[in-house]
Structure 1
Amino acid sequence: MFKDAGTDERARQLFFDGETPAFQVIIPDFGIVEGPFQVTGIEYAGSHNGEATYEMSLASAGALTFTAL
Protein backbone atom coordinates (compact mmCIF):
# COMPACT_ATOMS: atom_id res chain seq x y z
CA MET A 1 0.00 0.00 0.00
CA PHE A 2 2.73 2.49 0.91
CA LYS A 3 4.95 3.67 -1.92
CA ASP A 4 7.90 4.95 0.09
CA ALA A 5 9.30 5.58 3.55
CA GLY A 6 7.77 9.09 3.71
CA THR A 7 4.27 7.74 3.05
CA ASP A 8 4.77 5.02 5.64
CA GLU A 9 5.93 7.58 8.20
CA ARG A 10 2.94 9.87 7.48
CA ALA A 11 0.44 7.00 7.88
CA ARG A 12 1.97 6.02 11.23
CA GLN A 13 1.89 9.65 12.41
CA LEU A 14 -1.80 9.97 11.43
CA PHE A 15 -2.53 6.81 13.41
CA PHE A 16 -0.70 7.89 16.57
CA ASP A 17 -1.97 11.50 16.46
CA GLY A 18 -5.59 10.43 15.81
CA GLU A 19 -5.88 12.91 12.93
CA THR A 20 -8.77 12.67 10.44
CA PRO A 21 -7.51 14.02 7.10
CA ALA A 22 -9.41 13.77 3.82
CA PHE A 23 -8.70 10.55 1.94
CA GLN A 24 -9.67 9.39 -1.51
CA VAL A 25 -10.38 5.66 -1.57
CA ILE A 26 -10.59 4.18 -5.06
CA ILE A 27 -12.53 0.92 -5.33
CA PRO A 28 -11.71 -0.57 -8.76
CA ASP A 29 -14.70 -1.14 -11.05
CA PHE A 30 -17.03 0.46 -8.46
CA GLY A 31 -16.32 4.04 -7.41
CA ILE A 32 -14.45 6.61 -5.35
CA VAL A 33 -15.21 7.42 -1.72
CA GLU A 34 -13.86 10.74 -0.46
CA GLY A 35 -13.91 12.46 2.91
CA PRO A 36 -12.35 12.46 6.37
CA PHE A 37 -11.14 9.14 7.72
CA GLN A 38 -9.26 8.10 10.83
CA VAL A 39 -6.53 5.49 10.52
CA THR A 40 -7.66 2.81 12.99
CA GLY A 41 -5.00 0.21 12.29
CA ILE A 42 -1.80 -0.47 10.40
CA GLU A 43 -0.48 -3.99 9.92
CA TYR A 44 2.89 -4.97 8.53
CA ALA A 45 3.51 -8.48 7.23
CA GLY A 46 6.50 -10.65 6.36
CA SER A 47 9.77 -9.76 4.86
CA HIS A 48 11.24 -11.58 1.90
CA ASN A 49 14.34 -10.18 0.27
CA GLY A 50 13.72 -6.86 2.01
CA GLU A 51 10.09 -6.64 0.87
CA ALA A 52 7.09 -6.17 3.13
CA THR A 53 3.35 -5.72 2.77
CA TYR A 54 1.18 -3.21 4.59
CA GLU A 55 -2.52 -2.99 5.37
CA MET A 56 -4.25 0.11 6.68
CA SER A 57 -7.75 0.19 8.22
CA LEU A 58 -9.81 3.37 8.02
CA ALA A 59 -13.02 4.51 9.76
CA SER A 60 -15.15 7.32 8.37
CA ALA A 61 -14.90 10.47 10.46
CA GLY A 62 -17.53 12.69 8.84
CA ALA A 63 -19.56 13.20 5.70
CA LEU A 64 -18.39 11.14 2.72
CA THR A 65 -19.03 11.50 -0.99
CA PHE A 66 -19.30 8.69 -3.53
CA THR A 67 -18.60 8.93 -7.24
CA ALA A 68 -19.43 5.89 -9.38
CA LEU A 69 -16.84 4.80 -11.94
Structure 2
Amino acid sequence: MDNLSLPDLKMKMDKGEVLLLDVRPKEEYAEAHIPGAVSIPMEELEEKLAELPSNHDVVDYCRGPTA
Protein backbone atom coordinates (compact mmCIF):
# COMPACT_ATOMS: atom_id res chain seq x y z
CA MET A 1 0.00 0.00 0.00
CA ASP A 2 1.42 3.34 -1.05
CA ASN A 3 0.64 6.77 0.32
CA LEU A 4 0.21 9.71 -2.05
CA SER A 5 0.56 13.38 -1.33
CA LEU A 6 -2.44 15.49 -2.30
CA PRO A 7 -0.55 17.19 -5.17
CA ASP A 8 0.54 13.78 -6.55
CA LEU A 9 -3.00 12.46 -6.21
CA LYS A 10 -4.42 15.46 -8.06
CA MET A 11 -1.87 15.04 -10.86
CA LYS A 12 -2.73 11.34 -11.25
CA MET A 13 -6.46 12.12 -11.19
CA ASP A 14 -6.03 14.85 -13.82
CA LYS A 15 -4.19 12.34 -16.04
CA GLY A 16 -6.94 9.75 -15.53
CA GLU A 17 -4.50 7.35 -13.89
CA VAL A 18 -6.43 6.79 -10.67
CA LEU A 19 -9.96 6.60 -9.35
CA LEU A 20 -10.36 8.30 -5.97
CA LEU A 21 -12.72 6.30 -3.79
CA ASP A 22 -14.29 7.87 -0.69
CA VAL A 23 -15.28 5.03 1.66
CA ARG A 24 -16.70 7.24 4.41
CA PRO A 25 -20.43 7.23 5.22
CA LYS A 26 -22.63 8.99 2.65
CA GLU A 27 -23.43 11.77 5.13
CA GLU A 28 -19.76 12.67 5.49
CA TYR A 29 -19.27 12.59 1.72
CA ALA A 30 -22.28 14.91 1.31
CA GLU A 31 -20.81 17.36 3.85
CA ALA A 32 -17.44 17.61 2.11
CA HIS A 33 -15.22 15.53 -0.15
CA ILE A 34 -12.27 15.83 -2.48
CA PRO A 35 -13.54 16.93 -5.91
CA GLY A 36 -13.64 14.00 -8.30
CA ALA A 37 -14.00 11.39 -5.57
CA VAL A 38 -16.55 8.60 -5.97
CA SER A 39 -18.58 7.65 -2.90
CA ILE A 40 -18.86 3.98 -2.00
CA PRO A 41 -19.27 3.64 1.77
CA MET A 42 -17.22 0.90 3.41
CA GLU A 43 -20.32 -1.20 4.15
CA GLU A 44 -21.19 -1.25 0.41
CA LEU A 45 -17.67 -1.77 -0.89
CA GLU A 46 -17.61 -5.57 -1.17
CA GLU A 47 -20.83 -5.70 -3.20
CA LYS A 48 -19.67 -2.89 -5.53
CA LEU A 49 -16.07 -3.95 -6.15
CA ALA A 50 -16.98 -5.38 -9.56
CA GLU A 51 -18.21 -1.91 -10.63
CA LEU A 52 -14.77 -0.35 -10.18
CA PRO A 53 -12.75 0.10 -13.37
CA SER A 54 -10.07 -2.54 -13.85
CA ASN A 55 -7.89 -0.27 -16.00
CA HIS A 56 -7.22 2.31 -13.24
CA ASP A 57 -5.47 2.23 -9.91
CA VAL A 58 -7.89 2.90 -7.08
CA VAL A 59 -6.98 5.25 -4.25
CA ASP A 60 -9.28 5.20 -1.27
CA TYR A 61 -9.64 7.54 1.63
CA CYS A 62 -11.49 7.41 4.90
CA ARG A 63 -11.66 9.25 8.18
CA GLY A 64 -9.12 7.07 9.95
CA PRO A 65 -7.77 3.59 10.52
CA THR A 66 -11.03 2.27 12.00
CA ALA A 67 -13.42 3.52 9.30
Is the pair's TM-score, using the shorter chain for normalization, greater than 0.5?
A: no
When you count strand as a share of all residues, which structure comes out higher?
1
Bigger radius of gyration among the two: 1
Q: Which has the higher contact order (CA 8 A, sep 6+)?
A: 2
When you count helix as a share of all residues, which structure comes out higher?
2
TM-score normalised over the length of structure 1: 0.28
